[in-house]
Structure 1
Amino acid sequence: MTEPFQTQLLGLVLLFCRIGGCLLLAPGLSSPRVPVHVRLFVALGITAAVSPMILPGLVREMGTASPDRQIWLIMQETVIGVLLGLLARCFFMALQFAATAISNFIGLSGIPGIPLEEADTGSPLATLVSTAAVTLIFAMGLHIELLRAVIDSYAVMPLGAPPGADALLSNLLQTLNETWLLALRLSGPFLLYGVIVNFALGMGNRFAQQISMYHATTGAVMLGGFLLFYLVWVDWAMIFAGAYRTWLVEGGF
């Protein structure tokens, strides 16, 4: 194996490490329902597609790196890619958290769902919302924006000169704060609905103590929650998609 070919091969490996690390946690492709070999081929295909734009800079860096330095760069690129995927994943974790909270507010907390996007069983509403959100992300082309963010990350974090741990931690905390506020915005109407309904049931139980108001009105509470979700679904989904798109285009790294 000639030295120029070996250098280019190592550059492709570094590029694959960042892209593959991101796809490891990226929404949609990281689902356990997607076979591992499919995810591997997607990562390899994306690496081959974007290599003409990024590979020359990687080759220059790898040409002067020692073997120990090359191992360190591989580990570093993998960590950066995983961090990028984790930041994108935070938005979907916030969405699932909001859906789980909504399930508690409208009386669906005791009903198990079917795990589609995640490996663990959650509430049926969280399963429905996460699956719809992934479909919306692919329909709006935001998975391409995530790939563009990975490519643009080389301008902020070039090979061999990543930001310090304080910058990475600050970025992670900022994303967590943003996604926490997003979860609060998404679950806010249902939180108000739950407070009003439970207050009304408590008052009704005080005036009619011989009737179990909670068990008698469970179906009506769930129906009211579904009707409210039907009314706000379009705006609800657009708020999530808009926040995710804003982070990809203007935020992130």
Structure 2
Amino acid sequence: MIADPQGTVLVLFAIFCRIGACIMTLPGFSSARISMTVRFFLAFAISMAMTPVLFDTIYPRVQGGGSSLVAVIVGELLIGIMYGLVPRLFVLGLQFAGSAISMAIGLNTPGASDILEDTPENQMTNLISFGGLLILFMMDFHHVVFRALVDSYGVMPLGGMPDSQKMLITLTDTLAQTFILMLRLASPFLIFGLMFNVAVGLVNKLAPQVPVFYISTPYLLLGGLLLVYFTISAMVMQFAQYFPMIFNF
């Protein structure tokens, strides 16, 4: 029998605020292809699973209720959003790399329906971003995030407002590391596109009467697709292997 039903519900609600805010921004779970009902019940189920683990830590801070719970809710939502934004920025970086690769190899196709979101993306970006996210799920990245959420109660305890400066520093550091990583992953294609276009420009100078740029486009696309064929597996694997280091803040 539960001695304090109100306190137990408040503990569950406090955990749900942090977990639900994280799932609201977590890549894959926050996809437009997943309904709000599924996300709600998923966050609720994870919150219930974490309640026995975190009950003794959270219960002294929420028992009795009162107006102080408003600050608790706001703080929990901000912390959960930050923990979800870090992996989301990491996955958005892969979409950025896919767009850069598409432009470098001359694959300038019209945007089609995105697999994950409602925004239009070209086929190369869809392929790379979906492959990277699939590898993350295969490596149980969501377990890493949920474990970090449980450990976050020792770093950011319930009841206090999070330090906005530290949160912004965390997000900016994540953006900087993600940009460097995605630049490294896309560098073979950028170098290939640069060298190919320089060579075509030199040929055009030698034979200005020939429309070299119109003739060279299929060769640029063919060489770029062959490069994608030989490197995409290593690209998505390096992307997944760097996730724990990016998320370890």
Q: Equivalent residue for 1:107?
A: 106
CA distance in 2, matches of 1:32, 1:214: 40
Matched, 1:118 2:95: no
Which shows bigger deviation, 148-157 or 204-213?
Answer: 204-213
Query: Are residue 215 (structure 1) and residue 223 (structure 2) matched?
Result: no
The answer for the alignment partner of 2:84 in structure 1 is: 85
Q: 1:245 maps to which residue? A: 244
Distance 1:82 1:57 in 2: 21
Q: Is 1:11–2:5 an aligned residue pair?
A: no
- 1:218-250 Cα offsets, whole Å, 9 max, x none, are 1111110111111112221121111112233xx
1:124-143 Cα deviation digits (max 9, x unpaired): 11111111112111111112
Instruction: Give runs of aligned pairs for residues 1-253 of structure 1, distance below 5 A.
Output: 4-63=4-63, 67-248=66-247, 251-252=248-249
- Summarize deviations over 1:92-141 as a string: whole Å, max 9, x none: 11111011001000111343232111220012111111111121111111
Give 1:68 deviation, angstroms.
2.1
- The question of whether the paired residues in 2 share the 8 Å contact of 1:106 and 1:221 is answered with yes
2:132–2:237 Cα contact (<8 Å) kept:
no
Alpha-carbon separation, structure 1, partners of 2:145 and 2:212: 49
Equivalent position amino acid for 2:215 in 1:
A
The answer to whether the Cα contact below 8 Å between 1:25 and 1:89 also exists between their aligned partners in 2 is: yes
2:91 maps to amino acid: F
Give the C-alpha shift of residue 163 in structure 1.
4.1
Task: Return the alpha-carbon distance in structure 1 between the equivalents of residues 79 and 91 of structure 2.
Answer: 19
Aligned-residue RMSD, C-alpha: 1.6
In structure 1, what residue type is equivalent to 2:141?
A: L
Take 2:84 and 2:33, find their aligned partners in 1: how far apart are those partners?
18
CA distance in 1, matches of 2:127, 2:199: 29
Identity of aligned residues (%): 34
Secondary structure at 1:195's aligned position in 2?
helix
Cα offset, 1:79, TM superposition: 1.2
Q: Structure 1 residue 191: deviation in Å? A: 0.9
Give the whole-Å Cα distance in 2 for the aligned partners of 1:63 and 1:108: 59
Structure 1 regions of 5+ residues with no counterpart?
A: none
* Corresponding pairs, count: 248
Deviations 1:135-158 (A, max 9, x none): 111111112111111111111111
